[in-house]
C-alpha cells in the first residue's frame, strides 16, 4: 500500500509498526489518533497466519483482531477520518457457500472450523464499518482479499500461509538435494492467489471510486488445486524430487474462489499473473533466504 501511494504522489504518510503502537491498546490508539489526526486510514494490521496458526492460536486470532479493528474504527469516527478502508479476508464466507463466493453469501451458513475465530473477527470489522456508516455517516468501506503473496512475506514453516511455506520447503529441498518434499493436506483443496501489489492497486482504486456499506471481493477469479500449486512452485524453484502429501494435516475449506464481478464492474482487474508473480517472489527469496525466514 505504501508503494502504491508513493507511486501516486502521496508522501504525507503516517505508519506505525506493531512494536511502536499496539493497536490492541485502546489508550495508545486514542492518543495516536488525537496526535496524528489522519485524514484517510487503511486498516491492514491483523493477527494472521496459515491453517496451523489459525487453528492453534484461536483465542489470539479472535481477541487481537477484534481489539485492533474496534479501536481503530472507533477512533477514526471520533477524529473525523474522511475515509477508512478495512481489509478483511475470503475466510469470512461460509465453508460450503456456492462457488465462486459472492459478497451476499456473508452470514448464510457455518464457517470453516480451523479459521472460524479469525473469520468472526473480520466479520465484526465489516459490521463495524457498516454500522458506523449507518449511524454516524462515516465513509468506511471494506475489501475482502483472496489469498495473498508477495515481497516481505512470512516464511515460517509452522505459521505461514501455503505459498511462502512451499517456496521455502522446495528451495531448502533443492539446496539439500532431498528426494521428496512433504506438503500438508491432501492437495485437493483449490485456492486463488493475488499479488500484494495488485491488492494495493485495488485498494487505491476503491478509496477513489467506492463508497458503500457492502464489502467488495478482491481477487483474480481464477484458482488451482494445492497439488497444482505445489507443482508450479517446484518448477519455479527448480526442484525435481517427489511430492508427498500428508493427509493427516487439515485441508480447510474445499474451495475459496472469489466472485470478482462487483470489482470488475467498478473498473478494476488484476495485472500480475501467478506464474509471473511467483517467479519474482522466488527471486527475492532466493537472494536472501536467511533474511526472509527471519522476518
Which residue of the set 77, 93, 113, 118 is catalytic? 118
Q: How many Cα atoms sit within 13 Å of 266 on the Cβ side?
A: 20
How does pLDDT run across 144-191, given as a tens digit for each residue?
999 999 998 889 887 778 899 999 999 999 999 999 999 989 999 999
In the predicted structure, residue 295 carries a pLDDT above the cut 60: no
Is 147 annotated to bind a ligand? Reply is yes
DSSP-based three-state secondary structure for 281: helix
DSSP-based three-state secondary structure for 89: coil
Give pTM, 2 decimals.
0.92
Is 184 annotated to bind a ligand? Reply is yes
Any idea where the domains of the chain sit in the sequence? 2-294
Is 146 annotated to bind a ligand? Reply is yes
Is 251 annotated to bind a ligand? Reply is yes
How does pLDDT run across 189-199, given as a tens digit for each residue?
999 999 999 99
DSSP-based three-state secondary structure for 244: strand
Is 161 annotated to bind a ligand? Reply is yes
10 Å Cβ neighbour count for 28? 15
Extract the runs of DSSP E, i.e. beta strands, from 116-210: 140-145, 147-149, 180-184, 190-191, 193-195
Ordered strands of the 83-87 beta sheet: 40-43, 83-87, 140-145, 216-218
Q: What band does 291 get if pLDDT is binned at 50, 70 and 90?
A: low
Answer yes or no: 149 catalytic: no
The correct CATH number of 2-294 out of 3.80.30.20, 3.40.50.300, 3.30.910.10, 3.40.50.720 is 3.40.50.720
Amino acid at each position: 500500500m505504501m508503494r502504491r501511494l508513493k507511486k501516486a504522489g502521496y508522501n504525507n504518510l503516517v505508519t506505525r509498526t506493531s512494536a511502536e503502537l499496539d493497536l490492541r491498546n485502546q489508550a495508545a490508539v486514542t492518543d495516536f489518533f488525537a496526535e496524528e489526526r489522519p485524514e484517510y486510514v487503511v486498516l491492514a494490521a491483523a493477527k494472521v497466519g496459515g491453517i496451523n496458526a489459525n487453528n492453534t492460536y484461536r483465542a489470539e486470532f479472535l481477541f487481537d483482531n477484534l481489539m485492533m479493528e474496534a479501536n481503530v474504527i472507533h477512533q477514526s469516527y471520533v477524529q473525523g477520518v474522511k475515509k477508512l478502508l478495512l481489509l478483511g479476508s475470503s475466510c469470512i464466507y461460509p465453508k460450503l457457500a456456492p462457488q465462486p463466493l459472492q459478497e451476499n453469501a456473508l452470514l448464510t451458513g457455518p464457517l470453516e472450523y480451523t479459521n472460524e475465530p479469525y473469520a468472526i473477527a473480520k466479520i465484526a470489522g465489516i459490521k463495524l464499518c457498516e454500522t458506523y456508516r449507518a449511524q454516524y455517516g462515516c465513509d468506511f468501506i471494506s475489501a475482502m482479499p483472496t489469498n495473498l503473496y508477495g515481497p516481505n512475506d512470512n516464511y515460517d514453516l509452522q505459521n505461514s500461509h501455503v505459498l511462502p511455506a512451499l517456496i521455502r520447503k522446495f528451495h531448502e529441498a533443492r539446496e539439500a538435494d532431498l528426494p521428496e518434499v512433504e506438503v500438508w493436506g491432501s492437495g485437493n483443496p483449490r485456492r486463488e492467489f493475488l499479488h500484494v501489489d495488485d491488492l494495493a492497486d485495488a485498494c487505491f482504486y476503491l478509496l477513489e471510486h467506492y463508497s458503500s456499506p457492502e464489502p467488495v471481493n478482491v481477487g483474480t477469479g481464477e484458482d488451482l488445486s494445492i497439488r497444482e500449486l505445489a507443482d508450479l512452485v517446484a518448477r519455479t524453484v527448480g526442484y525435481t524430487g517427489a511430492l508427498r502429501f500428508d493427509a493427516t494435516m487439515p485441508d480447510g475449506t474445499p474451495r475459496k474462489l472469489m466472485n470478482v464481478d462487483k470489482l470488475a464492474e467498478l473498473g478494476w482487474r488484476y495485472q500480475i499473473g501467478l506464474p509471473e508473480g511467483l517467479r519474482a517472489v522466488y527471486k527475492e527469496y532466493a537472494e536472501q533466504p536467511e533474511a526472509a525466514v527471519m522476518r
